[in-house]
Structure 1
Amino acid sequence: MSAALPFIVLFLGIALLLVLFIRFKINTFLALVITAVLVALGLGMPMDKIATSIQTGIGSQLGELSIVFGFGAMLGRLVADAGGAYRIATTLIKRFGKKRLQLAVVLASFIIGIALFFEVGLVLLIPIVFAIAVEAEVPILYLGISMATALSVTHGFLPPHPAPVAISAALHANVGRVLLFGIILAIPTVYIAGPLFTKLAQRYAPSAFEQKGNLSSLGEIKEFKLEDTPSFGLAVLTSLFPVIFMAITTLYQLIFTGGELPKNPSAMDQFIAFIGSPSIAMILSLCFAMWSMGWHRNRATKDIMTSMENAVKSIAMLLLVIGGGGAFKQVLIDGGVGKAVATMFLHTNFSPLLLGWLVAVILRIALGSATVAALTAAGIVAPLMAQSGVDPALMVIAIGSGSLAASHVNDAGFWMFREYFDLTVKQTLSIWTVLESIIAVCGIIGVMILNVIFH
């Protein structure tokens, strides 16, 4: 096989994906699997091994992730249906007051964003943000940018979100360390891409801040009376439960066991490692949410189960798309693309972290889906991990931040933002696309700084 062939096949594969998505409007999962088969053939993989490679990719991707993803969706839906998300947002906004409204929206979006997927969080928070903006007599976009930033950062940087957990699994990274580094980087990133960027955007795109928004595009909006919702403390605790477990495990291991599970762990070591694994953390968190957002509020078991079933229905196709991304990633690894990339950068001083970020950026621009871009990038740079000595947790965040860059017309998030805030395509490009790119750049700068500190 010539040295250039893997890159030619990869380029043609990505081009084919684009054509299938944009020109023929083929379902994302189907397009990914078709492309994976054709790329495998192009890379010269034995035909009898292709199906196994695709099955391995889907299976390994969805093994642990199916619990994290499925149970995470159920937990988020239970919090939302009980009015917990509404309570968190309104309480924080009242506490912070009119002068610090952006900070209140950021904090509410951050807490809710950890428990909910980006699209669901957006749909849930926008009516609240609209209502607050009207009451405070500020432009809707003034608060909307901070909300979207916090949701995007949790989506790209923090477990138990699907992309960070999936990349962690692909690169064998410690999820607790990803969470720790992710929170450290999320705080300055959200401030820069949220409140700071809003000031800049008001200067160069003032017309966008005159829009009144479009609530009708959300369909029927569930309304809550504050007295009928769970307490603020219980709603926050339920939303953050999985993060708390992962954080406990990470801190315990950093303080007592040097950051890793020892070869001969004590019963306490095993227990702490057990509760901090993403799948167990989600199982325990969901059980708590069923009580706190369900039985404790006198909701019937049938009603709780309906919320959970609806949550699974809403993410079924997204779960398949992640599996399809895993299939494509596995074909790239088994077909030698990862090795070709590793060989190309073997004798250069180019940072593997920067490479992972750059690959994710290119794939994000080409494919639109942040999750697919992240998984494909992980497959390409995985072979570099062994020889580079880079902390896999930092590589996860580098790829995750790169996968958010330059969202444009091939990304569903672009159109959701445009529709809800009633913007033109030009305005959406000048606000949303720039905002996502700032997050990506802040993410990689932060990763490079942490790499110097912890290397």
Structure 2
Amino acid sequence: MIASPVALAATSLVEPVAAGWQLLVAALAGIAVIVGLITWLKVHPFLALILGAGVVGAAAGQNLNDVVTSFSTGFGSTAASVGILIALGAMFAKLLADSGGADQIVDTIVGRASTRVLPWAMVLVGAIIGLPMFFEIGLVLLMPVIYLVARRSGLSLITVGIPALAGLSAMHGFVPPHPGPLTAVQALHADLGLTLGLGIIVAVPTLVVAGPLFGKIAGRWVDVPAPTTFEGRDEPSEQRPSFGVTLASILLPVVLMLGKSLADIVIDDPGQRVQQVLDILGTPLVALLIAVLVGFFTLGRSAGMDRSALSSVMDAALPPIAGILLIVSAGGGFKQVLVDTGIGTQLADWAKSAHLSVLVLAWLLAVLIRLATGSATVATITASSLVTGLVQGAGNTELSLVVLAVGAGSLFFSHVNDAGFWLVKEYFGLSVGQTIKSWSLMETVLSVVGLGVVLLLNLVV
């Protein structure tokens, strides 16, 4: 999830409120309640997450007022950081669909690629979009394309979508300047350029396995039709933006965010006016807002839309995502309740007592904290801070590999305490079980294969 690395670094280590076994039972009970309510009793996920958070707090022995405060804090921070971006992304995505821009992109992709090649094209698109973007933003922007590619090609939505999700997620876990890997680089005093280069080397084979190869298997397990969220106008106009204009519109926020990231790395002087401007323009909220405003002209006007039509598109974009916003925010609230019990700290203490290599230990710490808190960024920041004392005197290459091992662990098995889990579930129209069999397992494959590649690199570099 999107969060400030500085803020997370200050709050990720929480003192456990009860004995380790009690916290573990509380977490498992809360997760079981959520899954049971949604799967068997058909309770809406928003209500199930609230009730699950209450079960966690009660089983951990927390004061009810503290549980309510934790949930409200997590809900609010997630709505503020992710909700606004989802809303802006939905507006842009609806504009992309109704203008015919998404059709133009899909016609080009489907027309030039065979059915067998499409998943490989989607993983490449996901990786490019995900390089500077947070996962949530990239997902919302890509959904119209994923839907249309699945419809036109006749492939399963999962077969097409999993490779794109793998591309987005791998960049988030392995490649700076995403906040998790970047903070781990700083905490371990690793070389940023070397980590970036090794991160790309790790990401490529990992994406091949977790993207097109696993997507083909997952598509057999989970076969669902593409939702109709971004179907476009009932009577599409013959007039639509060109492929070049559409691609430029999609890549505009990507370029703005990438410019901010490069300025932070190359200039690294907050007092410089150029960096100040790029930092503002590359802030996710500003970049997406600019993309929507520019899209009015490059997409809407190119498709012959007048002001009334553009207003209708914006109005129609928000109602379908209202439920998604509530569920994702409630997922953030449930995660915060878990974080505030201190279970992540307890699991980290247990892992540190194991006699393992630094790379495996770093991965395992991140895995446990990811499972406990649901946040890849929290897992990365916490795990890297815990192994700092174990890498004193290590060379630049080993430090970079530790950063990547942590990044791999932070991706492990996204489940009900991860707001991203609910985002994927709702956008893909899946059940909880289907989301676990596709998205959660894909994240696990990314994590395990990523660790394997890191260990292999450790033998040869």
Question: Percent of aligned positions with the same letter in both sequences?
Answer: 25
1:152 to 150, 153, 165: 165
CA contact (8 A) 2:257 2:287 kept: yes
Quick check: 39-48 or 315-324, which moved more?
39-48
Amino acid at match of 1:73: A
1:279 to 285, 289, 310: 285
Distance (Å, rounded) in 2 between the aligned partners of 1:18 and 1:190:
29
Distance (Å, rounded) in 2 between the aligned partners of 1:156 and 1:87:
26
Aligned-residue offset at 1:444: 4.8
Q: TM-score scaled by structure 2?
A: 0.69
Distance (Å, rounded) in 2 between the aligned partners of 1:331 and 1:192:
34
Q: Deviations over 1:357-378 (max 9, x none)?
A: 4665x68xxxxxxxxx844x76
Q: Deviations over 1:267-317 (max 9, x none)?
A: 222112212222222112221122211134331222223222322222211
Q: 1:182 to 1:272 in 2, by over 3 A?
A: farther
Aligned-residue offset at 1:236: 1.1
Does 2:60 align with 1:43? Answer: yes
CA contact (8 A) 2:260 2:279 kept: yes
Distance (Å, rounded) in 2 between the aligned partners of 1:91 and 1:13:
46
CA contact (8 A) 1:93 1:105 kept: no
CA contact (8 A) 2:97 2:231 kept: no
2:30 to 13, 18, 22: 13
Does 2:344 align with 1:338? Answer: yes
Amino acid at match of 2:267: F
Distance (Å, rounded) in 2 between the aligned partners of 1:180 and 1:303:
46
2:151 to 105, 127, 135: 127
Distance (Å, rounded) in 1 between the aligned partners of 2:430 and 2:23:
37
Amino acid at match of 1:5: Q
CA contact (8 A) 1:109 1:151 kept: yes
Q: 1:450 to 1:148 in 2, by over 3 A?
A: farther
Amino acid at match of 2:327: V
Instruction: Determine helix, strand or coil for the equivalent of 2:152.
Output: helix
Q: 1:379 to 1:28 in 2, by over 3 A?
A: farther
Distance (Å, rounded) in 2 between the aligned partners of 1:231 and 1:67:
29
User: Partner residue of 2:134?
Assistant: none
Distance (Å, rounded) in 2 between the aligned partners of 1:220 and 1:243:
21
User: Partner residue of 2:385?
Assistant: 386
2:310 to 286, 290, 304: 304
CA contact (8 A) 2:101 2:240 kept: yes
User: Partner residue of 2:253?
Assistant: 242
Amino acid at match of 1:129: S
Q: 1:453 to 1:47 in 2, by over 3 A?
A: farther
Aligned-residue offset at 1:228: 2.6
1:256 to 263, 267, 270: 267
Distance (Å, rounded) in 2 between the aligned partners of 1:333 and 1:55:
13
User: Partner residue of 2:140?
Assistant: 116
Following superposition of structure 1 onto structure 2, how do residues 172-183 of structure 1 map, counting pairs within 5 Å? none
CA contact (8 A) 2:118 2:160 kept: no
Q: 1:397 to 1:284 in 2, by over 3 A?
A: farther
Q: Deviations over 1:1-33 (max 9, x none)?
A: 333211121111112222212121111111111
CA contact (8 A) 1:352 1:388 kept: yes
User: Partner residue of 1:353?
Assistant: 363
Distance (Å, rounded) in 2 between the aligned partners of 1:96 and 1:331:
46
Q: Deviations over 1:225-267 (max 9, x none)?
A: 896321111111112222211111112222222xxxx4x5222
CA contact (8 A) 2:123 2:167 kept: no
Does 2:81 align with 1:75? Answer: no
CA contact (8 A) 2:374 2:414 kept: yes
Distance (Å, rounded) in 2 between the aligned partners of 1:179 and 1:306:
43
CA contact (8 A) 1:112 1:121 kept: no
User: Partner residue of 2:5?
Assistant: none
Amino acid at match of 2:259: I
Distance (Å, rounded) in 2 between the aligned partners of 1:429 and 1:331:
22
Q: 1:253 to 1:333 in 2, by over 3 A?
A: same
Aligned-residue offset at 1:80: 1.5
User: Partner residue of 2:392?
Assistant: none
Q: 1:104 to 1:340 in 2, by over 3 A?
A: closer
Distance (Å, rounded) in 2 between the aligned partners of 1:2 and 1:59:
29
CA contact (8 A) 1:57 1:328 kept: yes
Q: How many residues align?
A: 402
Q: Any unmatched runs of 5+ in structure 1?
A: 131-139, 364-372, 419-424
Q: 1:185 to 1:68 in 2, by over 3 A?
A: farther
Q: 1:157 to 1:319 in 2, by over 3 A?
A: farther
User: Partner residue of 2:70?
Assistant: 53
Amino acid at match of 1:242: P
Q: TM-score scaled by structure 1?
A: 0.69
Distance (Å, rounded) in 1 between the aligned partners of 2:263 and 2:244:
25
Following superposition of structure 1 onto structure 2, how do residues 193-204 of structure 1 map, counting pairs within 5 Å? 193-194=210-211
Q: 1:42 to 1:26 in 2, by over 3 A?
A: same
CA contact (8 A) 1:404 1:436 kept: no
Distance (Å, rounded) in 2 between the aligned partners of 1:93 and 1:321:
33
Aligned-residue offset at 1:401: 5.6
Aligned-residue offset at 1:77: 1.5
Q: 1:190 to 1:56 in 2, by over 3 A?
A: same
